[in-house]
Structure 1
Amino acid sequence: MSTSRRALLGAALGGAAGAALGLPVAGTAHAVSWQQRWAPSASRDGLGAFETVEDDRANSHPGGQPHIYATVDNWRFNMHTVDRDTSTDRQRQEVTGLRTGSSSYLKWTEGQTWRITYSMYIPASLKATTTFTHIMQMKQPGTGTLPIVVQSLRRVNGVQTIELKLAIDDILVGRTDLEPLHDKWTDVDFQIKVGNGSAGSVRWILKSGSATVVDKSKTGVDTFLADRVRPKWGIYRSLGDTSGSLQDTYLLLKNLRGYQLV
Protein backbone atom coordinates (compact mmCIF):
# COMPACT_ATOMS: atom_id res chain seq x y z
CA MET A 1 0.00 0.00 0.00
CA SER A 2 1.41 3.41 -0.95
CA THR A 3 2.09 6.13 1.61
CA SER A 4 -0.68 8.28 0.10
CA ARG A 5 -3.16 5.40 0.30
CA ARG A 6 -2.20 4.72 3.92
CA ALA A 7 -2.66 8.40 4.72
CA LEU A 8 -6.07 8.40 3.05
CA LEU A 9 -7.15 5.38 5.09
CA GLY A 10 -5.98 7.00 8.31
CA ALA A 11 -7.81 10.22 7.48
CA ALA A 12 -10.99 8.42 6.43
CA LEU A 13 -11.11 6.54 9.71
CA GLY A 14 -10.52 9.65 11.73
CA GLY A 15 -7.15 11.28 12.44
CA ALA A 16 -6.38 11.08 16.15
CA ALA A 17 -8.93 8.33 16.72
CA GLY A 18 -7.40 6.31 13.91
CA ALA A 19 -3.91 6.78 15.25
CA ALA A 20 -5.00 5.72 18.73
CA LEU A 21 -6.37 2.50 17.26
CA GLY A 22 -3.08 1.86 15.50
CA LEU A 23 -4.21 3.08 12.08
CA PRO A 24 -1.77 4.56 9.58
CA VAL A 25 -1.59 8.34 9.41
CA ALA A 26 0.02 10.78 7.02
CA GLY A 27 3.81 10.82 7.08
CA THR A 28 4.23 7.29 8.47
CA ALA A 29 5.56 4.20 6.75
CA HIS A 30 3.79 1.66 8.95
CA ALA A 31 1.85 -0.33 6.36
CA VAL A 32 -1.12 -1.57 8.34
CA SER A 33 -4.61 -2.15 7.01
CA TRP A 34 -7.92 -3.79 7.83
CA GLN A 35 -7.93 -7.42 6.69
CA GLN A 36 -11.34 -9.09 6.39
CA ARG A 37 -11.52 -12.20 8.58
CA TRP A 38 -15.25 -12.90 8.73
CA ALA A 39 -18.03 -12.48 6.18
CA PRO A 40 -20.94 -14.79 6.97
CA SER A 41 -24.09 -15.14 4.90
CA ALA A 42 -27.45 -15.67 6.58
CA SER A 43 -28.69 -17.83 3.70
CA ARG A 44 -25.49 -19.88 3.43
CA ASP A 45 -24.25 -20.13 7.02
CA GLY A 46 -27.39 -19.61 9.10
CA LEU A 47 -26.63 -19.80 12.81
CA GLY A 48 -23.38 -21.54 11.92
CA ALA A 49 -21.97 -18.04 11.49
CA PHE A 50 -21.60 -17.81 15.28
CA GLU A 51 -19.51 -19.54 17.91
CA THR A 52 -22.52 -20.23 20.17
CA VAL A 53 -26.28 -19.62 20.16
CA GLU A 54 -28.18 -18.80 23.36
CA ASP A 55 -31.82 -19.37 22.34
CA ASP A 56 -34.09 -19.66 25.39
CA ARG A 57 -31.44 -21.53 27.34
CA ALA A 58 -33.84 -21.85 30.30
CA ASN A 59 -36.50 -23.41 28.01
CA SER A 60 -38.98 -20.85 29.35
CA HIS A 61 -41.04 -20.52 26.16
CA PRO A 62 -40.92 -23.65 23.97
CA GLY A 63 -43.88 -22.37 21.95
CA GLY A 64 -41.81 -19.39 20.80
CA GLN A 65 -38.82 -21.41 19.63
CA PRO A 66 -36.75 -20.83 17.68
CA HIS A 67 -36.30 -17.29 18.94
CA ILE A 68 -33.14 -16.87 16.85
CA TYR A 69 -32.95 -17.87 13.21
CA ALA A 70 -31.66 -16.85 9.78
CA THR A 71 -33.87 -15.66 6.96
CA VAL A 72 -32.86 -15.01 3.36
CA ASP A 73 -30.50 -12.13 4.10
CA ASN A 74 -30.60 -11.42 7.84
CA TRP A 75 -30.57 -12.90 11.31
CA ARG A 76 -33.67 -12.40 13.46
CA PHE A 77 -33.89 -12.32 17.26
CA ASN A 78 -37.43 -12.59 18.68
CA MET A 79 -38.20 -11.59 22.25
CA HIS A 80 -41.54 -12.20 23.98
CA THR A 81 -42.58 -10.75 27.30
CA VAL A 82 -42.93 -14.31 28.69
CA ASP A 83 -39.33 -15.25 27.85
CA ARG A 84 -36.99 -15.75 30.80
CA ASP A 85 -33.28 -16.38 31.10
CA THR A 86 -31.74 -18.74 33.65
CA SER A 87 -31.65 -15.67 35.90
CA THR A 88 -35.39 -15.04 35.96
CA ASP A 89 -35.16 -11.26 36.45
CA ARG A 90 -33.98 -10.85 32.84
CA GLN A 91 -34.36 -12.04 29.26
CA ARG A 92 -31.70 -13.19 26.81
CA GLN A 93 -31.72 -14.25 23.17
CA GLU A 94 -28.14 -13.85 21.91
CA VAL A 95 -25.43 -15.26 19.68
CA THR A 96 -21.71 -15.07 20.38
CA GLY A 97 -18.45 -15.09 18.50
CA LEU A 98 -17.26 -15.17 14.89
CA ARG A 99 -17.19 -18.71 13.52
CA THR A 100 -14.98 -19.39 10.50
CA GLY A 101 -15.44 -23.16 10.21
CA SER A 102 -17.10 -26.16 11.82
CA SER A 103 -14.47 -26.23 14.56
CA SER A 104 -12.83 -22.81 14.27
CA TYR A 105 -13.65 -19.26 15.33
CA LEU A 106 -11.80 -15.98 15.68
CA LYS A 107 -10.15 -15.15 18.99
CA TRP A 108 -9.67 -11.50 19.94
CA THR A 109 -6.66 -11.37 22.25
CA GLU A 110 -4.73 -8.70 24.12
CA GLY A 111 -2.86 -6.29 21.85
CA GLN A 112 -4.99 -6.96 18.78
CA THR A 113 -7.27 -4.45 17.03
CA TRP A 114 -10.59 -5.56 15.56
CA ARG A 115 -13.46 -4.00 13.67
CA ILE A 116 -17.05 -5.15 13.22
CA THR A 117 -19.45 -3.63 10.68
CA TYR A 118 -23.09 -4.56 10.18
CA SER A 119 -26.60 -3.17 9.73
CA MET A 120 -29.32 -3.43 12.38
CA TYR A 121 -33.06 -2.90 12.19
CA ILE A 122 -34.60 -1.74 15.47
CA PRO A 123 -38.42 -1.74 15.31
CA ALA A 124 -40.43 0.75 17.35
CA SER A 125 -41.48 -2.16 19.57
CA LEU A 126 -37.87 -2.54 20.78
CA LYS A 127 -37.78 0.41 23.13
CA ALA A 128 -35.19 1.88 25.46
CA THR A 129 -35.72 0.99 29.11
CA THR A 130 -34.91 2.42 32.52
CA THR A 131 -32.78 -0.64 33.27
CA PHE A 132 -30.44 -2.46 30.90
CA THR A 133 -31.36 -3.45 27.37
CA HIS A 134 -28.19 -4.52 25.54
CA ILE A 135 -28.16 -5.30 21.81
CA MET A 136 -24.40 -5.84 21.48
CA GLN A 137 -21.80 -6.77 24.08
CA MET A 138 -18.07 -7.45 24.22
CA LYS A 139 -17.35 -10.02 26.93
CA GLN A 140 -14.78 -12.43 28.22
CA PRO A 141 -16.19 -15.90 27.51
CA GLY A 142 -17.32 -17.92 30.50
CA THR A 143 -20.22 -18.20 32.89
CA GLY A 144 -20.70 -15.14 35.09
CA THR A 145 -18.13 -12.95 33.36
CA LEU A 146 -18.84 -9.23 33.26
CA PRO A 147 -19.33 -7.25 30.04
CA ILE A 148 -16.46 -5.11 28.77
CA VAL A 149 -18.38 -2.99 26.25
CA VAL A 150 -22.16 -2.67 25.83
CA GLN A 151 -24.30 -1.08 23.13
CA SER A 152 -27.58 -0.39 24.90
CA LEU A 153 -31.04 1.11 24.58
CA ARG A 154 -31.47 3.31 27.66
CA ARG A 155 -34.01 5.89 28.81
CA VAL A 156 -32.29 9.06 29.99
CA ASN A 157 -34.61 11.58 31.67
CA GLY A 158 -37.49 9.92 29.86
CA VAL A 159 -35.83 10.10 26.42
CA GLN A 160 -35.13 6.93 24.46
CA THR A 161 -31.44 6.73 23.53
CA ILE A 162 -28.92 4.30 22.13
CA GLU A 163 -25.48 4.41 23.75
CA LEU A 164 -22.11 2.72 23.93
CA LYS A 165 -20.44 2.27 27.31
CA LEU A 166 -17.22 0.79 28.60
CA ALA A 167 -18.81 -1.31 31.29
CA ILE A 168 -15.66 -2.08 33.28
CA ASP A 169 -15.26 1.54 34.41
CA ASP A 170 -18.78 2.79 33.50
CA ILE A 171 -17.43 5.20 30.86
CA LEU A 172 -19.90 6.60 28.34
CA VAL A 173 -18.39 6.59 24.84
CA GLY A 174 -21.37 8.11 23.03
CA ARG A 175 -25.14 8.45 23.03
CA THR A 176 -27.82 9.61 20.59
CA ASP A 177 -31.61 9.62 20.30
CA LEU A 178 -33.10 6.23 19.48
CA GLU A 179 -36.51 7.15 18.11
CA PRO A 180 -35.21 8.56 14.77
CA LEU A 181 -33.56 5.16 14.21
CA HIS A 182 -36.70 3.12 14.81
CA ASP A 183 -38.16 1.14 11.90
CA LYS A 184 -35.17 1.61 9.61
CA TRP A 185 -31.77 0.10 8.94
CA THR A 186 -28.83 1.65 10.81
CA ASP A 187 -25.20 0.91 9.93
CA VAL A 188 -22.81 0.13 12.78
CA ASP A 189 -19.01 0.41 12.70
CA PHE A 190 -17.39 -0.70 15.96
CA GLN A 191 -13.63 -0.78 16.48
CA ILE A 192 -11.71 -2.02 19.51
CA LYS A 193 -8.08 -2.27 20.49
CA VAL A 194 -7.93 -5.03 23.09
CA GLY A 195 -5.81 -3.65 25.91
CA ASN A 196 -5.49 -4.02 29.67
CA GLY A 197 -5.54 -1.07 32.05
CA SER A 198 -5.14 2.02 29.86
CA ALA A 199 -3.88 0.20 26.75
CA GLY A 200 -7.27 -0.16 25.06
CA SER A 201 -9.39 2.03 22.81
CA VAL A 202 -12.77 1.95 21.07
CA ARG A 203 -14.54 3.79 18.29
CA TRP A 204 -18.32 3.70 17.65
CA ILE A 205 -19.97 4.96 14.49
CA LEU A 206 -23.67 4.86 13.60
CA LYS A 207 -24.97 5.90 10.19
CA SER A 208 -28.56 6.28 9.03
CA GLY A 209 -28.58 6.38 5.26
CA SER A 210 -25.87 8.83 4.24
CA ALA A 211 -25.95 10.69 7.57
CA THR A 212 -23.48 9.98 10.37
CA VAL A 213 -25.54 9.92 13.56
CA VAL A 214 -22.68 9.42 15.99
CA ASP A 215 -18.91 9.00 15.73
CA LYS A 216 -17.24 8.77 19.13
CA SER A 217 -13.97 7.35 20.41
CA LYS A 218 -12.27 6.66 23.72
CA THR A 219 -8.56 5.98 24.16
CA GLY A 220 -6.47 5.01 27.15
CA VAL A 221 -9.19 2.70 28.47
CA ASP A 222 -9.51 -0.86 29.75
CA THR A 223 -10.94 -3.28 27.16
CA PHE A 224 -9.59 -6.58 28.49
CA LEU A 225 -10.34 -8.77 31.51
CA ALA A 226 -8.71 -12.15 30.79
CA ASP A 227 -8.40 -14.84 28.12
CA ARG A 228 -10.01 -13.03 25.15
CA VAL A 229 -12.80 -10.69 24.04
CA ARG A 230 -15.86 -12.16 22.32
CA PRO A 231 -18.69 -10.20 20.65
CA LYS A 232 -22.36 -10.92 21.37
CA TRP A 233 -25.48 -9.76 19.54
CA GLY A 234 -29.18 -10.05 20.26
CA ILE A 235 -31.55 -8.83 22.93
CA TYR A 236 -30.52 -9.01 26.58
CA ARG A 237 -32.74 -6.98 28.86
CA SER A 238 -33.79 -6.58 32.47
CA LEU A 239 -37.38 -7.06 33.56
CA GLY A 240 -36.95 -4.22 36.06
CA ASP A 241 -38.02 -1.49 33.61
CA THR A 242 -40.35 1.10 35.15
CA SER A 243 -41.38 2.90 31.95
CA GLY A 244 -43.77 0.28 30.60
CA SER A 245 -41.54 -0.29 27.57
CA LEU A 246 -41.31 -4.07 27.59
CA GLN A 247 -43.32 -5.75 24.84
CA ASP A 248 -43.01 -8.52 22.28
CA THR A 249 -40.36 -7.41 19.82
CA TYR A 250 -37.45 -8.42 17.61
CA LEU A 251 -34.07 -7.29 16.23
CA LEU A 252 -32.67 -7.85 12.73
CA LEU A 253 -28.99 -7.94 11.73
CA LYS A 254 -27.42 -8.22 8.28
CA ASN A 255 -24.14 -7.68 6.41
CA LEU A 256 -22.00 -8.78 9.35
CA ARG A 257 -18.29 -8.37 8.66
CA GLY A 258 -15.19 -8.73 10.82
CA TYR A 259 -11.77 -7.18 10.20
CA GLN A 260 -8.40 -7.31 11.94
CA LEU A 261 -5.83 -4.54 11.77
CA VAL A 262 -2.58 -6.12 10.62
Structure 2
Amino acid sequence: MSTSRRGLLGAALGGAVGLSSATAAHAASWQQKWAPSASGNGLGAFETVEDDRADSHPAGQPHIYATGDNWHFTMHKVDRDTSTDRQRQEVTGLRNGSGSNYLKWTEGQTWRVTYSMYIPSSLKATTTFTHIMQMKQPGNGTSPIVVQSLRRVNGVQTIELKLAIDDILVGRTALEPLHNKWIDVDFQIKVGNGSAGSVRWILKNGSTTVIDKSKTGVDTFLADRVRPKWGIYRSLGDTSGSLQDCYLLLTNLRGYQLV
Protein backbone atom coordinates (compact mmCIF):
# COMPACT_ATOMS: atom_id res chain seq x y z
CA MET A 1 0.00 0.00 0.00
CA SER A 2 1.26 3.44 -0.93
CA THR A 3 2.45 5.63 1.91
CA SER A 4 2.40 8.94 0.02
CA ARG A 5 -0.47 11.37 0.42
CA ARG A 6 -1.52 14.24 -1.84
CA GLY A 7 -5.00 15.07 -0.54
CA LEU A 8 -5.56 17.82 2.04
CA LEU A 9 -8.43 18.08 4.47
CA GLY A 10 -10.23 21.23 3.38
CA ALA A 11 -10.00 24.28 5.59
CA ALA A 12 -13.74 24.75 5.19
CA LEU A 13 -14.62 21.65 7.20
CA GLY A 14 -16.96 22.63 10.01
CA GLY A 15 -17.18 25.82 12.03
CA ALA A 16 -15.35 27.11 15.04
CA VAL A 17 -16.32 25.64 18.38
CA GLY A 18 -17.25 27.91 21.23
CA LEU A 19 -18.69 30.67 19.01
CA SER A 20 -22.30 31.35 18.03
CA SER A 21 -22.96 30.86 14.33
CA ALA A 22 -23.96 34.51 13.98
CA THR A 23 -20.74 35.73 15.59
CA ALA A 24 -18.57 33.35 13.56
CA ALA A 25 -20.26 34.28 10.28
CA HIS A 26 -20.11 38.02 10.95
CA ALA A 27 -16.75 38.56 12.57
CA ALA A 28 -14.37 35.61 12.40
CA SER A 29 -12.67 33.46 9.80
CA TRP A 30 -9.85 30.93 9.71
CA GLN A 31 -6.56 32.42 8.55
CA GLN A 32 -3.76 30.06 7.57
CA LYS A 33 -0.66 30.67 9.65
CA TRP A 34 1.43 27.55 9.02
CA ALA A 35 1.87 25.40 5.93
CA PRO A 36 5.19 23.51 5.99
CA SER A 37 6.23 20.72 3.67
CA ALA A 38 8.35 17.75 4.63
CA SER A 39 10.39 18.05 1.44
CA GLY A 40 10.94 21.80 1.79
CA ASN A 41 11.10 22.42 5.55
CA GLY A 42 12.04 19.02 6.95
CA LEU A 43 12.26 19.04 10.74
CA GLY A 44 12.60 22.82 10.60
CA ALA A 45 8.80 22.88 10.49
CA PHE A 46 8.74 22.32 14.27
CA GLU A 47 9.74 24.27 17.34
CA THR A 48 11.64 21.32 18.86
CA VAL A 49 12.47 17.70 17.97
CA GLU A 50 12.59 15.04 20.71
CA ASP A 51 14.42 12.20 18.96
CA ASP A 52 15.75 9.62 21.43
CA ARG A 53 16.54 12.35 23.94
CA ALA A 54 17.94 9.72 26.35
CA ASP A 55 20.27 8.42 23.60
CA SER A 56 18.94 4.93 24.33
CA HIS A 57 19.25 3.53 20.82
CA PRO A 58 21.97 5.26 18.75
CA ALA A 59 21.87 2.54 16.11
CA GLY A 60 18.23 3.39 15.40
CA GLN A 61 18.77 7.12 14.96
CA PRO A 62 17.33 9.19 13.47
CA HIS A 63 13.94 8.04 14.65
CA ILE A 64 12.27 11.19 13.28
CA TYR A 65 12.95 12.44 9.77
CA ALA A 66 11.39 13.81 6.59
CA THR A 67 11.06 11.52 3.60
CA GLY A 68 9.37 12.73 0.42
CA ASP A 69 6.12 14.45 1.39
CA ASN A 70 5.95 12.79 4.82
CA TRP A 71 7.30 13.18 8.32
CA HIS A 72 8.28 9.72 9.59
CA PHE A 73 8.35 8.68 13.26
CA THR A 74 9.94 5.31 14.07
CA MET A 75 9.56 3.51 17.40
CA HIS A 76 11.59 0.42 18.26
CA LYS A 77 10.77 -1.83 21.18
CA VAL A 78 14.20 -1.07 22.65
CA ASP A 79 13.78 2.72 22.62
CA ARG A 80 13.53 4.40 26.03
CA ASP A 81 12.73 7.92 27.13
CA THR A 82 14.50 9.67 30.00
CA SER A 83 11.76 8.12 32.15
CA THR A 84 12.56 4.51 31.40
CA ASP A 85 9.01 3.19 31.84
CA ARG A 86 7.99 4.85 28.56
CA GLN A 87 9.03 5.70 25.01
CA ARG A 88 8.92 9.04 23.22
CA GLN A 89 9.69 10.19 19.68
CA GLU A 90 7.90 13.52 19.21
CA VAL A 91 8.06 16.96 17.63
CA THR A 92 6.56 20.10 19.11
CA GLY A 93 5.22 23.42 17.96
CA LEU A 94 4.60 25.26 14.70
CA ARG A 95 7.72 27.00 13.41
CA ASN A 96 7.75 29.65 10.70
CA GLY A 97 11.29 30.39 9.62
CA SER A 98 14.24 30.25 11.98
CA GLY A 99 15.11 31.18 15.55
CA SER A 100 12.19 31.95 17.85
CA ASN A 101 9.75 32.50 14.98
CA TYR A 102 7.14 29.95 16.06
CA LEU A 103 3.43 30.33 16.67
CA LYS A 104 2.28 30.77 20.25
CA TRP A 105 -1.20 29.64 21.23
CA THR A 106 -2.29 31.81 24.16
CA GLU A 107 -5.34 32.14 26.38
CA GLY A 108 -8.41 33.41 24.55
CA GLN A 109 -7.20 32.41 21.09
CA THR A 110 -8.79 29.76 18.84
CA TRP A 111 -6.55 27.54 16.72
CA ARG A 112 -6.93 24.67 14.29
CA VAL A 113 -4.60 22.08 12.82
CA THR A 114 -5.41 19.82 9.89
CA TYR A 115 -3.23 17.01 8.62
CA SER A 116 -3.21 13.45 7.32
CA MET A 117 -1.82 10.49 9.25
CA TYR A 118 -0.96 6.94 8.30
CA ILE A 119 -1.17 4.45 11.18
CA PRO A 120 0.18 1.02 10.20
CA SER A 121 -1.23 -2.08 11.85
CA SER A 122 2.08 -2.42 13.73
CA LEU A 123 1.18 0.72 15.73
CA LYS A 124 -1.48 -0.78 17.94
CA ALA A 125 -3.71 0.49 20.73
CA THR A 126 -2.49 -0.43 24.21
CA THR A 127 -3.94 -0.94 27.67
CA THR A 128 -1.86 1.97 28.95
CA PHE A 129 -1.24 5.27 27.20
CA THR A 130 -0.15 5.55 23.57
CA HIS A 131 -0.47 9.19 22.49
CA ILE A 132 0.01 10.29 18.87
CA MET A 133 -0.91 13.95 19.41
CA GLN A 134 -0.82 16.09 22.55
CA MET A 135 -1.57 19.67 23.54
CA LYS A 136 0.69 20.71 26.41
CA GLN A 137 2.06 23.66 28.30
CA PRO A 138 5.75 23.89 27.31
CA GLY A 139 8.31 22.93 29.93
CA ASN A 140 9.60 19.86 31.70
CA GLY A 141 7.13 18.01 33.90
CA THR A 142 4.01 19.78 32.60
CA SER A 143 0.81 17.77 32.29
CA PRO A 144 -0.99 17.19 28.97
CA ILE A 145 -4.10 19.24 28.27
CA VAL A 146 -5.51 17.27 25.31
CA VAL A 147 -4.42 13.84 24.04
CA GLN A 148 -5.25 11.89 20.89
CA SER A 149 -4.54 8.32 21.89
CA LEU A 150 -4.64 4.68 20.79
CA ARG A 151 -6.32 2.82 23.65
CA ARG A 152 -7.64 -0.70 24.16
CA VAL A 153 -11.13 -0.64 25.64
CA ASN A 154 -12.50 -4.04 26.70
CA GLY A 155 -9.99 -5.63 24.34
CA VAL A 156 -10.98 -3.47 21.35
CA GLN A 157 -8.45 -1.18 19.67
CA THR A 158 -9.74 2.40 19.57
CA ILE A 159 -8.55 5.91 18.80
CA GLU A 160 -9.82 8.62 21.12
CA LEU A 161 -9.54 12.25 22.08
CA LYS A 162 -9.53 13.18 25.76
CA LEU A 163 -9.27 16.37 27.78
CA ALA A 164 -6.58 15.22 30.16
CA ILE A 165 -6.97 17.91 32.84
CA ASP A 166 -10.43 16.68 33.88
CA ASP A 167 -10.30 13.23 32.20
CA ILE A 168 -13.17 14.07 29.83
CA LEU A 169 -13.67 11.82 26.81
CA VAL A 170 -14.45 13.92 23.73
CA GLY A 171 -14.89 10.98 21.36
CA ARG A 172 -13.75 7.46 20.54
CA THR A 173 -13.97 5.18 17.50
CA ALA A 174 -12.59 1.84 16.33
CA LEU A 175 -8.95 1.92 15.26
CA GLU A 176 -8.59 -1.24 13.20
CA PRO A 177 -10.69 0.03 10.24
CA LEU A 178 -8.32 3.01 10.06
CA HIS A 179 -5.10 0.99 10.03
CA ASN A 180 -2.92 1.00 6.90
CA LYS A 181 -4.64 3.95 5.22
CA TRP A 182 -4.44 7.72 5.20
CA ILE A 183 -6.83 9.39 7.64
CA ASP A 184 -7.54 13.13 7.71
CA VAL A 185 -7.55 14.94 11.05
CA ASP A 186 -9.18 18.29 11.84
CA PHE A 187 -8.55 19.47 15.42
CA GLN A 188 -9.79 22.78 16.80
CA ILE A 189 -9.19 24.31 20.22
CA LYS A 190 -10.29 27.48 21.96
CA VAL A 191 -7.64 28.10 24.60
CA GLY A 192 -9.53 28.89 27.78
CA ASN A 193 -9.09 28.50 31.52
CA GLY A 194 -11.69 26.85 33.75
CA SER A 195 -14.82 26.53 31.61
CA ALA A 196 -13.77 29.00 28.91
CA GLY A 197 -12.26 26.45 26.51
CA SER A 198 -13.62 24.19 23.80
CA VAL A 199 -12.42 21.55 21.34
CA ARG A 200 -13.64 19.86 18.17
CA TRP A 201 -12.19 16.65 16.71
CA ILE A 202 -12.94 15.31 13.25
CA LEU A 203 -11.54 12.19 11.57
CA LYS A 204 -12.24 11.46 7.91
CA ASN A 205 -11.51 8.30 5.93
CA GLY A 206 -11.59 9.57 2.36
CA SER A 207 -15.01 11.21 1.91
CA THR A 208 -16.45 9.45 4.96
CA THR A 209 -16.60 11.26 8.29
CA VAL A 210 -15.60 8.68 10.89
CA ILE A 211 -16.18 10.89 13.92
CA ASP A 212 -17.01 14.55 14.59
CA LYS A 213 -17.20 15.41 18.29
CA SER A 214 -17.04 18.65 20.26
CA LYS A 215 -16.86 19.75 23.88
CA THR A 216 -17.52 23.28 25.12
CA GLY A 217 -17.26 24.83 28.55
CA VAL A 218 -14.06 22.93 29.34
CA ASP A 219 -10.55 23.68 30.62
CA THR A 220 -7.91 23.86 27.87
CA PHE A 221 -5.27 26.02 29.55
CA LEU A 222 -2.75 25.55 32.36
CA ALA A 223 -0.27 28.45 32.11
CA ASP A 224 1.92 30.32 29.63
CA ARG A 225 0.64 28.83 26.33
CA VAL A 226 -0.55 25.67 24.61
CA ARG A 227 1.85 23.83 22.28
CA PRO A 228 0.95 20.91 19.99
CA LYS A 229 3.03 17.73 19.87
CA TRP A 230 2.99 14.90 17.34
CA GLY A 231 4.69 11.51 17.23
CA ILE A 232 4.61 8.35 19.32
CA TYR A 233 4.62 8.59 23.11
CA ARG A 234 3.71 5.34 24.85
CA SER A 235 3.95 3.51 28.14
CA LEU A 236 5.78 0.21 28.46
CA GLY A 237 3.11 -1.00 30.89
CA ASP A 238 0.87 -2.49 28.20
CA THR A 239 -0.56 -5.90 29.16
CA SER A 240 -2.02 -6.85 25.76
CA GLY A 241 1.25 -7.74 24.00
CA SER A 242 0.74 -4.90 21.53
CA LEU A 243 4.15 -3.24 21.74
CA GLN A 244 6.29 -3.85 18.66
CA ASP A 245 8.53 -1.98 16.26
CA CYS A 246 6.30 0.49 14.44
CA TYR A 247 6.08 3.89 12.81
CA LEU A 248 3.72 6.81 12.13
CA LEU A 249 3.52 9.04 9.07
CA LEU A 250 2.20 12.61 8.92
CA THR A 251 1.74 14.91 5.95
CA ASN A 252 -0.05 18.08 4.82
CA LEU A 253 0.24 19.77 8.22
CA ARG A 254 -1.60 23.10 8.29
CA GLY A 255 -2.25 25.59 11.09
CA TYR A 256 -5.03 28.20 11.22
CA GLN A 257 -6.07 30.90 13.67
CA LEU A 258 -9.62 32.18 14.04
CA VAL A 259 -9.39 35.95 13.67
Residue 6 of structure 2: aligned partner: none
**Unpaired stretches in structure 2, ≥5 consecutive residues:** 1-11
Amino acid aligned to 1:105: Y
Quote how far apart the aligned CAs of 1:30 are. 2.7
2:14 equivalent in structure 1:
13
Separation in 1 of the partners of 2:87 and 2:23?
A: 50
Q: Which amino acid aligns with 1:57?
A: R
Which structure would you say has the larger RCO, counting Cα contacts within 8 Å and 6 or more residues apart? 2
How many angstroms apart in 1 are the aligned matches of 2:58 and 2:23? 59
State whether structure 2 residue 64 is matched by structure 1 residue 79. Answer: no
- Rg bigger for which structure? 1
1:36 matched to 2:32: yes
Q: Could you tell me how far 1:101 is from its partner in structure 2? A: 1.2
Does 1:151 find its partner at 2:152?
A: no
CA distance 1:149–1:29, shift in 2 (3 Å): closer
Question: 1:179, 1:12 → 2: CA distance?
Answer: 24
RMSD, matched Cα: 1.4
The amino acid of 1:259's aligned partner reads Y
Matched pairs, number: 247
Residue identity opposite 1:210 in structure 2: S
TM-score, length basis structure 1: 0.92
Whole-Å Cα distance in 1 between the matches of residues 18 and 49 of structure 2?
Answer: 30
Displacement of 1:22 after TM fit?
Answer: 2.7
Overall identity of the aligned pairs, in %: 86
Mind listing any 5+ residue stretches in structure 1 that lack a counterpart?
A: 1-10
For residues 132 and 28 of structure 1, the distance between their equivalents in structure 2, rounded to whole angstroms, comes to 36
Distance 2:103 2:253 in 1: 14
Residue 247 of structure 1 corresponds to which residue in structure 2? Answer: 244
* Residue of structure 2 in register with 1:93 after alignment: 89
- Residue in 1 that maps onto 2:106: 109
Report which stretch shifted further, 136-145 or 29-38.
Answer: 29-38
Q: 1:123 aligns with which of 98, 104, 120?
A: 120
Report the counterpart of residue 4 of structure 2 in structure 1: none
In structure 1, what is the Cα distance between the partners aligned to 2:250 and 2:25? 37
SS in 2 for 1:225: coil
Aligned 1:1-262 pairs, distance under 5 A: 13-14=14-15, 18=16, 20-22=17-19, 25-26=21-22, 30-103=26-99, 104-262=101-259
**TM-score, normalising length from structure 2?**
0.93
